[in-house]
Amino acid sequence: MRQAALVLAVLAGPAAAQGFDAVGALFADRCVICHSGEDAPLGLRLDTREGVLAGSENGPVVLAGDPASPLLQRLRGEAEPQMPLDGPPFLDRDQITMVEAWVMAGMPAGAAAPSPAADRRRPAPGEQVLWPDVQPIFLKACIKCHSDNSKLGAPPEGLRLDSLENVLKGGHRLAVLPGNPEMSEIWRRVTGLATPRMPFDGPPWLPDEDIRLIRDWIEQGAPDADGTKAPIPTGARIRLRGVLTGAAEIDGAGFVIDSGTRVDDRPRIGDQAEMRGVVQADGSVRAERFRDR
């Protein structure tokens, strides 16, 4: 059936006639947010026909006339993870047939030469950082594991990083405390302060510039695309393990110790310490337990 459908598609030839134009438009819509720029996954850029033909660091992804081309297998879900990685929804049958027909026809060029997608905006230090500035980092480096399309089967620790809502919701534990990067597990993981360091399949780790962007975004209140800060997750629980860097501070993350805090083996500066606490309405963290480890 599939072979017959392919032959028909090639004979009908809409994709062959349009060359890369229709395929390029589809890729621009569904692939290029990740597959462009210097940090394109596996070096695979899909914003121009040249990029598609150049393939990835594993080699070619389209082979003229070969329905088993790696890119087609990814679209059909025969190779995992299925593409587009931020699906579902994945491509529908007609869209896949169109890409198949283009490959079967030998990847003809289009009438319009698409220009490469602009590399993503990286606000300079001191500038405002919005969700759309950090979203591509999570899409390119994290969601192959941290989404429902996870190659691990399920997102680890229940943490999905595929939307602002899910990043703020966190997994089994809080991932972001708006306004406070040191208390935020995401920042602690990408710097390696908390282990295992992320991305789990690194090195390479995130470039310093991306780590700085994540930090600035959290520090500025984890704003959405319009600049509206995220709400404080009052009542969320936090567990911090690391080096005591101040009387009530682990790895630079300060908290409040009061008469209600249970302190065991009070740690000294430089010791390994653990704090379990609760986020207060003003964004501070009140320690319930504090101890030496």
Q: Which amino acid is at 43?
A: G
| Rg (the chain; Cα; Å) | 23
Task: Using the minimum distance from each CB to ligand HEC, give the nearer residue, 139 or 232.
Answer: 139
Cβ closest to ligand HEC, residue 173 vs residue 268: 173
Q: Which two tokens stand for residue 87?
A: 């699906």
| Distance separating alpha carbons of residues 256 and 277, to the nearest angstrom | 9
Q: Record the tokens describing residue 215, joined without a space.
A: 């930090």
Q: Which of 190, 185, 212, 193 is nearest to 202 (CA)?
A: 190
Q: Report the site for ligand HEC in 3-42 (rule: CB under 6 A).
A: 27, 30-31, 33-35, 41-42
Which residue in 289, 167, 219 sits closest to 211, CA to CA?
219
Is 86 one of the binding residues for ligand HEC (CB under 6 A)? yes
Residues whose CB falls within 8 Å of the CB of residue 91, separated by 6 or more in sequence, listed in order = 26, 30, 75, 84, 99
114 makes contact with ligand HEC (CB under 6 A): no
Going residue by residue from 156 to 185, which x/- string records binding to ligand HEC, judged by CB under 6 A?
A: xx-x-x---------xxx-x---------x
Nearer to ligand HEC, 33 or 222 (CB): 33
> Nearest approach, Cβ of 99 to ligand HEC (angstroms)?
7
Using CB under 6 A, list all residues that contact ligand HEC: 27, 30-31, 33-35, 41-42, 44, 46, 56, 58, 61, 70-71, 74-75, 81, 83-86, 91, 139-146, 156-157, 159, 161, 171-173, 175, 185-186, 189-190, 196, 198-201, 206
